[in-house]
Structure 1
Amino acid sequence: MPNQPNQPGHSGQQAQRRELGAFLRSRRERITPDQVGLPRSGRRRTPGLRREELALLAGISATWYTYLEQGRDIRASDQVLNALASVLRLDRYERGHLFQLAGHAPAADPEAPEPLAPEAAAVPLLLQPHPAYIIGGTYDVLSHNPAADELFPHLTAATDRPPNFLRWVFLEPAARDVLVDWEPEARGLLARLRTLAGRHPGDPRYTRLIDELKAGSPEVRSWWPQYEVQARQGGRKRLRHPGRGVIEYAYTAFHLAEQPEQTLVIYSDDQPRFRR
């Protein structure tokens, strides 16, 4: 039943909306026009950006943003909140606070590694010598074993960010040698990314990854507009092992119970081999 004006929950929601407006106003006032590339035009009555300027930069209506800052009873989407957080240059803690005040789950920090429970991270090591790894929602490789390192060269090489299976397939030259049937495998992988991204509209983790893939891969630029979708699943694929040649692997995908977008992938090579 909706809260009525005389109910305790109603006053609590009003207070939270007022707090949201105050938080947005405080962060708007600390951003100067110079920081966002706007020219200075005469004297300003208030510090920082005007409401109209912030709304324009965030791609939303100035009237609607004014209502939000005034604590009116309106709801902002994740996409709008991400846009505001970006323009206001909020750090990870401020971004999470913004989402909480707006009544949403805390926003995912695009720079932070996806958390993985230690007991889950240990599973690929227990599966050695079968190649195994755990991937997150954006295909970051969260855990892997030595057999996976051997089968997928350069996938888990030390970098300043988590290794990512999508970046490896489309941007690492070695992937086209390892994946014997590279094009259908790559198309399927991109279709699965499209499916996952559709569940998280406006999530900067996905938009940044997609933009990076488009910039570096002509295939992604060509295939992405075709809007193919596909669920994560098991199957079979031919891979070129560095010491044993081309092998047909059966692979199985298990979704983690606590984090269903995290997936354990295990490869088995019990099937007959293909010659080079």
Structure 2
Amino acid sequence: MYKSQAEKREARRKAFGDFLRSRRERLTPAAVGLPAGFRRRTPGLRREEVALLAGVGTAWYTWLEQGRDVRPSADVLSALAVALMLSPDERRHLFTLADRSFLNADTFNSSETVPDALIRMIDGMKAQPAYVLGRRWDILAWNAAAVHVFGDFGQLEGDARNMMHLIFTSERHRNLLKDWNEVAQLSLAMFRADSALYVGDTDFERLIGLLMENSAEFFAWWPRQDVVQQPSTVKRIQHPSEGLLEFEYLNLDVTQSPGMRFIVCTPRMVSGHGD
């Protein structure tokens, strides 16, 4: 069952407030040029200090963190981003969480169909593992090269055929990733940035709840509120028969299907069974 628009808006405001608070708590007064003052009972800056730096009222800023129904303008969001020393990815995340234009029933309810032309292109790629991810990182399509490297996604069903689920709960997939700790944290930060568009969606909430229950690392890292946009990266795969493989991952948006991603893995190195 899908949540009502009011419930989605409430969930979005809460996510916005949680993100603000997490960024405030990581800063020190010295980092923003303020005196430390008296002993602090909580980590990071005080709400009134952020409000002062951003040029807004303390009560109003407090309402933002509490998830109340107040609507900051783009100028106020920019001021908050400066006050909280947000990175470009974090700034985008802040604006995404505050943008009500994404709260569209079609965004949540529409089915995801991979374009036929994209499927034909993937099938034609013989040396490059390639696959398509949906908005929730469900694995929607893949080629034979991807099966050879990562295993047969077709044997998985439901939430199990999801890249975050594989990374955090599959022992086999974990063993494939030579640098699992680094890859898992980067993937989580990218997933959180993507999920900001769908705060309040029950499918996302079910997946996140499942990962919180079944992965100690996800449980520990998700509350950190890390976000990043990284269209390409290098990953090392410890393949059971091919040995150590190195791929450059290229992450491309499928423009005619919002939220859909096309992942191409270009081989960089094959070094046998060694490190």
Band the TM-score falls in, shorter-chain normalisation: 0.5 to 0.7
Match of 1:181 in 2: 179
| Structure 2 SS opposite 1:202 | coil
Asked if 2 retains the 8 angstrom alpha-carbon contact of 1:170 and 1:186, the reply is: yes
Match of 1:227 in 2: 225
Identify the structure with the greater helix proportion: 2
Deviations 1:45-103 (A, max 9, x none): xxxxxxxxxxxxx9x9xxxxxxxxxxxxxxx5461699xxxxxxxxxxxxxxxxxxxx9
Confirm whether residue 79 of structure 1 aligns to residue 4 of structure 2: no
Asked if 2 retains the 8 angstrom alpha-carbon contact of 1:151 and 1:242, the reply is: no
TM-score, structure 1 length as denominator? Answer: 0.59
Alignment equivalent of 2:251, drawn from 243, 253, 269? 253
Task: Give 1:248 shift.
Answer: 1.7
Asked if 1 retains the 8 angstrom alpha-carbon contact of 2:192 and 2:225, the reply is: yes
Asked if 2 retains the 8 angstrom alpha-carbon contact of 1:256 and 1:263, the reply is: yes
Go from structure 1 to structure 2 and tell me whether the alpha carbon gap of 1:135 and 1:77 turns closer, same or farther (over 3 Å shift). Answer: same
Worse overlay, 134-143 or 243-252: 243-252
Higher relative contact order, chain-length normalized (CA < 8 Å, sep 6+): 2
Confirm whether residue 214 of structure 1 aligns to residue 177 of structure 2: no
Task: Give 1:161 shift.
Answer: 5.9
The gaps in structure 1 that reach 5 residues or longer are 1-57, 61-75, 83-102
| Structure 1 SS opposite 2:244 | strand
Task: Give 1:205 shift.
Answer: 2.0
Indicate the percent of aligned positions where both proteins have the same amino acid: 23
Go from structure 1 to structure 2 and tell me whether the alpha carbon gap of 1:133 and 1:206 turns closer, same or farther (over 3 Å shift). Answer: same
Deviations 1:80-127 (A, max 9, x none): 699xxxxxxxxxxxxxxxxxxxx9443634xx8622222222222111
Q: Within 5 A, what are the aligned runs for 1:74-223?
A: 76-77=5-6, 79=8, 104-106=104-106, 108-109=108-109, 114-153=112-151, 155-160=153-158, 163-223=161-221
TM-score, structure 2 length as denominator? Answer: 0.59
Q: Distance in 2 between matches of 1:192 and 1:156?
A: 24
Q: Distance in 1 between matches of 2:196 and 2:158?
A: 27
Asked if 2 retains the 8 angstrom alpha-carbon contact of 1:135 and 1:263, the reply is: yes
Q: Distance in 1 between matches of 2:118 and 2:105?
A: 24
Q: Distance in 2 between matches of 1:228 and 1:116?
A: 29
| Structure 1 SS opposite 2:269 | coil
Letter in 1 for 2:129: P
Asked if 1 retains the 8 angstrom alpha-carbon contact of 2:119 and 2:141, the reply is: yes
Asked if 2 retains the 8 angstrom alpha-carbon contact of 1:124 and 1:144, the reply is: yes
Q: Distance in 1 between matches of 2:266 and 2:105?
A: 39
The gaps in structure 2 that reach 5 residues or longer are 12-102
Task: Give 1:273 shift.
Answer: 2.9
Task: Give 1:232 shift.
Answer: 4.2
Asked if 2 retains the 8 angstrom alpha-carbon contact of 1:113 and 1:162, the reply is: no
Letter in 2 for 1:264: F
Q: Distance in 1 between matches of 2:249 and 2:9?
A: 39
